[in-house]
Structure 1
Amino acid sequence: MLSIVSAVLFFIAFLINAADISTNDTFTSTNIMLIGLAVLALHLAGLGSGWRVRGRRR
C-alpha cells in the first residue's frame, strides 16, 4: 500500500516539475519527491506489509 502512495507522490512531483506549475514553498516538486522517498523507505522497512497473525502453530 505504501509503495502505491509513493508512486502517486512521485507522479505528482513529476507533473509539478514537468508542467512548471508555480506552487508555494511547501509543495515544491522536491519536497513532494522527498516525502515519496520517505514513504518508499517505510515500505521497504516493512511497515506497510500488512497484518501478521501470530497464533499458535500446530
Structure 2
Amino acid sequence: MLAVVAAVLFAFALLFELLGTSLERITSSVLVTAGLFCVALYFAGVGSRSVAYRRRARR
C-alpha cells in the first residue's frame, strides 16, 4: 500500500514540475520527499500484509 502511495506522490510531483505549478506549501520537492519517505517505510516492512504465524509440521 505504501508503494502505491509513493507512486501517486511521485506522479503528482512530476505533474507539478511539468506544469510549473505549486500550492502554497506543497511543491514538487515536498511531494518527492514524501514519496521517498513512503518508499523507505515500505522497504522497512511497515504496512506489510504478511501474516506472522507458524505452521506446525505433523510427523
TM-score under structure 1 length normalisation? 0.83
**Inter-partner Cα distance in structure 2 for 1:4 and 1:22:** 22
Residues 1:29 and 2:28 are matched in the alignment: yes
Unaligned runs of 5+ in 1: none
**Identity in percent:** 39
Cα RMSD between the aligned structures?
Answer: 1.4
**Inter-partner Cα distance in structure 2 for 1:23 and 1:50:** 34
Paired residues in the alignment total: 57
TM-score under structure 2 length normalisation? 0.82
**Inter-partner Cα distance in structure 2 for 1:12 and 1:22:** 10
Contact 2:22–2:28 (CA<8 Å) still a contact in 1?
Answer: no
Unaligned runs of 5+ in 2: none
Runs of at least 4 residues off by over 3 Å = none
Per-residue deviation, 1:23: 2.0
